[in-house]
Amino acid sequence: GEDVEQSLFLSVREGDSSVINCTYTDSSSTYLYWYKQEPGAGLQLLTYIFSNMDMKQDQRLTVLLNKKDKHLSLRIADTQTGDSAIYFCAEGDTGRRALTFGSGTRLQVQP
Amino acid sequence: EAQVTQNPRYLITVTGKKLTVTCSQNMNHEYMSWYRQDPGLGLRQIYYSMNVEVTDKGDVPEGYKVSRKEKRNFPLILESPSPNQTSLYFCASSLAPSYEQYFGPGTRLTVT
């Protein structure tokens, strides 16, 4: 079945760039998402990319997709303390019953 | 404002005492889903619903029930809660299963 893997923890200094990585197993994945979960809150969609794209940029966020290696990354430029959260990668395809989520990467931003 | 609401946000209960967690969405979404979140395990789907009166099991359905009598509501029922159901629960809705999911704020359940 589908599987999505992420590293559990990332620590960066304020002002540096953060790169959160995700690998998935299903080559038919059409929709790939990044969600952010702040303490005590639900998941909120940060950004998404379709499988026919290689890159998407949205202000401080850059998503890179390597379909050959089934690798997705989220780069946050000029990371701020407010970016401290858990980031989930998720993938899906038409006809599936649900998105498949990774276990989340906890980003800690040191002042 | 488009949103998914859940109630209660926090619940402490005892083993065997039936409880219901409500979920409601105001976006006219057909697809709704329940997840539980446990440390190191990410989000695991409990049940989902493609439309009114259409529900099906997710990855971890044991010990849970759901119903979908109206499009906006999708309650999660624990008939006889046990301590291994202590978790953080999220309801979500979307236009379709693989489209952007809108999440509720979560319900933290503790079963003693």
- A81-97: per-residue pLDDT in tens? 999 999 999 998 887 88
- Tell me: pLDDT of B30 over 70: yes
Kindly state the tokens that stand for A70: 């089934």
Establish, for the pair of chains A and B, how many residue pairs have beta carbons separated by less than 8 Å: 55
The beta-strand segments (E) located in chain A are 4-6, 9-13, 18-24, 31-37, 43-50, 55-58, 61-66, 71-76, 85-92, 100-101, 105-110
Chain A residues closer than 8 Å to B56 by CB: 97
pLDDT of residue A87: 97
- Tell me: pLDDT of B106 over 70: yes
B90–A contact, CB cutoff 8 A? yes
- Tell me: pLDDT of A26 over 90: no
Chain B residues closer than 8 Å to A44 by CB: 103
Residue B100 has what DSSP assignment? Answer: P
B33–A contact, CB cutoff 8 A? yes
Residue A82 three-state SS: helix
End-to-end CA distance of chain A: 41
Kindly state the tokens that stand for B57: 């099991």
B48–A contact, CB cutoff 8 A? yes
pLDDT of residue B110: 98
